Amino acid sequence: MPGVLFVGAGQEQRPAIVSARERGYHVVAVDADSGAVGLAHADVAEVADVDSAPALAELAQRHGVDGVLSIAFDQAAPLVADAAERVGLPSIGPATAHRFSQVLARRRTLAEEGLPQPAYAAVRTLGEGRAAIDVVGLPAVLKPADAEGQRGLFRIDDPGDLESHLHAALAESRTHEAVLESYVEGVEMNAIVVTRGGTSRLVCLADRLTPPGDAFGVAWAHLHPAGIHSDQLAAAERLAERTVSVLGLRDGIALVQLVVTPGRELSIIGTSVGVPRGRLAELVRHAVGVDLLDLALRFALGEQVPDEAVLPRGSRPVAIRFLTAAPGSLPTGRITRVGALAPVLSADGVLEAEVFLAAGDLVRPLRRADDRYGYVVATGPTTVDALANADDAASLLVVEGE
């Protein structure tokens, strides 16, 4: 079987590494963290810097792999594409990966094609930030130009908020650059799009639920199918597919995050390329029967992707509820005991569940994606029932803190 290099081996990547080995692939995994849980499941584990395309290319060449990929590691996409291209392996191209991953590159490309998106401005200094407020208005969203997982993400309601948070946003950017965007009120959705030979197809559209307050940008639940009306559904499908095409992807998987406003207008708020984070691969598999990992491996190896691998095999209500501190049920602080997962797994409607906590771990207040400590996937007759089943099951997990 072919050899593949996984870039990143954390909790989000571990299931993909395990699954690839079970399918018979020779798996090389690399992560800068020697404690990354996925390393133990690879045929070959490498602890190395994953922020260098030449270093990743050397690893790929040394181990003689046939493909390089990252799973649920959005910001690695340009490095993976660059490394694969350097050693002559299938690649989406560094420029395409950059447009999906870097906010300003994405915004400028979409603006050239007139696609709907928030007003935006680049911000490197407080003076530029103050001028940007005049362009984008308030409320606004401040974010690093090239970070993921809601690191350095802030809602700006008045000019004083900008002064308070700009340094933190810039600190999360490799290029020390931030972006100020208009805050778009509405229902957020995740659109998963698969592209083959330049033809894009939406395979799953789900609501993305976020809590109020400082964690406004963090998904703490996903619901399939999306709850928009049929006319909006068709428009969202067209916009998601058009977005992927405009950003230049010809073969691969992409995520397009959309908002539908109370006035029924659509806006593009984010994109990524490759299997996205947030357990969306699990959502897609349970909801419509499409295996994103299988597709990612095929694309990484340059294989043909048949119609049957992309076409949904059905559709059913599915909810993912993440385990978090408030407004979730986990206590903040040092954990003293984590109860058995068995009652959660045996609860009504539960399809799968995991918890990433043990005694001694620290639970932080919900602020970014890394503050999610597990998840429950459930189904039911409707999305309301599916989410209720996920919530009921999550409540069965006993977690005690100091």
Give residue 1's pLDDT.
Answer: 82
22-49 exposure pattern, b = at least 16 Cβ within 10 A, e = fewer: eeebbbbbbbeeeebbbbebbebbbeee
Contact (Cβ atoms closer than 8 angstroms) between residue 349 and residue 378: yes
Distance between CA atoms of 222 and 283, rounded to whole angstroms? 8
Contact (Cβ atoms closer than 8 angstroms) between residue 7 and residue 70: yes
| Cis? peptide before 225, omega within 30° of 0 | yes
Contact (Cβ atoms closer than 8 angstroms) between residue 178 and residue 169: yes
Give residue 231's pLDDT.
Answer: 85
Question: 3-class DSSP state for residue 124?
Answer: coil
Give residue 229's pLDDT.
Answer: 87
**266-281: pLDDT as tens digits:** 999 999 999 999 999 9
Give residue 49's pLDDT.
Answer: 86
Per-residue pLDDT of the chain (402 residues; tens, 9 = 90+): 899 999 999 999 999 999 999 999 999 999 999 999 999 999 999 999 888 999 999 999 999 999 999 999 988 999 999 999 999 999 999 999 999 999 999 999 999 999 999 999 999 999 999 999 999 999 999 999 997 778 899 999 999 999 999 999 999 998 999 999 999 999 999 999 999 999 999 999 999 999 999 899 999 999 999 999 888 999 999 999 999 999 999 999 999 999 999 999 999 999 999 999 999 999 999 999 999 999 999 999 999 999 999 999 999 999 999 999 999 999 999 999 999 999 999 999 999 999 999 999 999 999 999 999 999 999 999 999 999 999 999 999 999 998
As to burial, measured by CB atoms within 10 angstroms (0-12 exposed, 13-18 middle, 19+ buried), residue 211 is middle
Give residue 170's pLDDT.
Answer: 96
Pick the closest to residue 384 from 322, 323, 321, 326 (CA basis): 321
Question: 3-class DSSP state for residue 254?
Answer: strand
Domains, in order of start, for the chain: 3-91 (3.40.50.20), 119-182 (3.30.1490.20), 316-402 (3.30.470.20)
CB-facing half-sphere around the CA of 103: CA atoms within 13 A:
29
Distance between CA atoms of 91 and 155, rounded to whole angstroms? 36
How high is the mean pLDDT of the chain?
Answer: 96
What are the tokens at 1?
């079987």
Give residue 147's pLDDT.
Answer: 79
Give residue 384's pLDDT.
Answer: 98
Prediction pTM value:
0.96
**103-141: pLDDT as tens digits:** 999 999 999 999 999 999 999 999 999 999 999 999 999
Pick the closest to residue 125 from 157, 93, 167, 159 (CA basis): 167
What are the tokens at 100?
């999906």
Q: C-alpha distances in angstroms, 376 versus 61, 318, 350, 396?
A: 39, 10, 7, 11
Distance between CA atoms of 342 and 364, rounded to whole angstroms? 25
Give residue 44's pLDDT.
Answer: 98
Q: Residue 175: what residue type?
A: T
Give residue 106's pLDDT.
Answer: 97
Q: Are strands 67-69 and 3-7 parallel, antiparallel or unpaired?
A: parallel
